[in-house]
Chains A and B, each alone.
Chain A
Amino acid sequence: MVVAVWSGKLIMLEKTKNIAKQILEEKKANGVLGLMKNQRDIVQPHVFKRLPELDALVLEPKWLLAKLSMSILRSSPEGYRLAVLCRGCDERALIELTKRNQIEKENLLTIGIACSQEQAAICLCDRPYPAKVDAGEIASGVDPFQDERVREFLIGNDKKRMEKWANVLKRCIKCYGCRNSCPICVCEPCKLEDDVWVQRGDVPAEMATFHLIRAFHLSDTCVACGACQEACPVNIPLLYLQLSMRKTLKEKYGYEAGLDPEKKSPILSDFLKEPETGREYPEWINSLREKDGH
């Protein structure tokens, strides 16, 4: 069994190397962004430009390359084309970035890698594969709402949950790691640095403003890659904040961030023009019915 898993991984790696080789040989791109294991056995992101370098290419561990590829593309001369080895979440993040005009679509090639089942379980990912899979086998998604750790934070008594969240968020040391690691957080200037919204210099961060403003800004763009959570030095489960918003968008408006490059976010458009599922007013709206006799 273990052997089978290993050989599967080796085949996947070989396949990826071949694709990268082909891209470099045919000069489809100026470089291939991926992970490299250097002589000291340390894994780091690297832009492969020459063929012999490709021997050091590795696929594990999970390392999000979307934000890195954006900064490479931005600082490169015009016409520079980059191929990126990306997982499902990476690809979705890149699509969101192209939608927001941060990356030019023509300058980007993607090599899609499907995540393993174990990785999907670690990330609680409901879609652990990119739309275009080049290497690896598609694993089935995990429903995050079935996970016990998540349910603890999302379901149950309001008052207890409020305290639970407050206790977790109190640990924040305001390192801005969640914002900096997020592939989609690109606003300049950032509201989290503005005194009007978030008091600067006080630690822990104000919970209702700092964390919830950040979470809300990503409501329709979050691709659930978990980069914020991984970057957090005090283990705040930041991804759980996004889950119910993502669920609402999916169920009511049929929208998932990063799937369709042409589809605009529903929160920018008219409520009445939504497909049938979204047309009913949410039940919590206090719709102003006319009083009798008026």
Chain B
Amino acid sequence: MNQPRILIFACKWCGLIGADAAGKKRASLPARFRVIPVECAALVEPDAILRALAGGIDGVAVLGCHSGGCRYNNANHASIKRFELLKDLLDTTGIGGERLLLSFGTAHEYHQFEEIIENFFNELAALPPLDPWLSPFGVVS
């Protein structure tokens, strides 16, 4: 089976704690993902997601706080619009907006982290590889 690679940007107030908890509870998770802690979901530049896709990542997930639960003046709501546009761009070019996942949750919901990653992993496995879009130089090994 096609083994997709996932990059996760997790907001350090919610998503990251959830991911941590999932690890502590020994939840069964697919192995091929990496978590990058960020201060807020809104700080993830869409450019970084494009860079990741060019570098051989199959899907990018951005985890933030619940709506209304953001520490920074509802910044996570601004990220919704940004990623909506990015999804449009990915759809246009045929990369597919489903390679981008934006999800809001709180820190204690580790089971949701487990569920999301599992589902995302399965969805990505069904997609064709991104070969024509890979960068000849910056492929992540």
Q: Which residues 62-77 in B have Cβ within 8 Å of A in the complex?
A: 66-68, 73-74, 77
Residues of B with Cβ closer than 8 Å to A? 46-47, 50-51, 53-54, 66-68, 73-74, 77-78, 80-82, 84-98, 101-106, 109, 111-112, 116, 119-120, 128, 130, 132-138
Query: Of the 9-residue stretches A77-85, A118-126, A202-210, which lies at the interface with chain B?
Result: A202-210
Say yes or no: A212 contacts B89, CB within 8 Å: yes
Q: Which residues of B contact A243 (CB under 8 A)?
A: 92
Say yes or no: A208 contacts B81, CB within 8 Å: no
Say yes or no: B47 contacts A288, CB within 8 Å: no
The secondary-structure label for the interface of chain A is helix
Chain A: which residue is nearest B77 at the CB level? A271
Residues of A with Cβ closer than 8 Å to B? 153-154, 158-166, 191, 197, 199, 202, 206-209, 212-213, 215-217, 219-220, 240-241, 243-245, 247-249, 252-253, 266-272, 278, 281-282, 284-288, 290-291, 294
Least distance between B126 CB and chain A CB atoms (Å): 12
Alpha-carbon gap, A19 to B40, bound state (A): 53
- Knowing that A162-B132, A244-B91, A252-B84 touch, tell me 16 more A-B residue pairs with CB under 8 angstroms: A159-B128, A165-B93, A197-B47, A206-B136, A216-B85, A219-B85, A219-B89, A249-B85, A267-B78, A267-B85, A270-B77, A282-B80, A282-B87, A286-B101, A288-B104, A288-B112
Q: Which residues of B contact A158 (CB under 8 A)?
A: 94, 96
Give me 23 A-to-B residue pairs in the complex whose CB atoms sit less than 8 angstroms apart, sorted by A's number: A160-B94, A161-B94, A162-B93, A199-B138, A208-B133, A208-B134, A213-B50, A215-B89, A216-B46, A217-B47, A219-B89, A241-B89, A244-B92, A249-B85, A270-B74, A278-B81, A284-B97, A284-B98, A285-B104, A286-B101, A288-B106, A288-B116, A290-B109
Alpha-carbon gap, A208 to B140, bound state (A): 14
Say yes or no: A286 contacts B103, CB within 8 Å: yes
Given contacts A202-B137, A267-B78, contact A282 B84 (CB under 8 A): yes
Alpha-carbon gap, A263 to B93, bound state (A): 29
Chain A: which residue is nearest B74 at the CB level? A270
Total A-B residue contacts, Cβ distance less than 8 Å: 147
Q: Which 3 residue pairs across A and B have the least CB separation, nearest first? A: A162-B94, A271-B77, A161-B94
Say yes or no: B88 contacts A245, CB within 8 Å: yes
Residue from A244, A284, A288 within 8 A of B105 (CB atoms): A288
Alpha-carbon gap, A217 to B132, bound state (A): 22
Residue from A164, A209, A267, A288 within 8 A of B50 (CB atoms): A209
Say yes or no: A202 contacts B136, CB within 8 Å: yes
Interface centre among A158, A160, A197, A288 (most CB of B within 10 A): A288
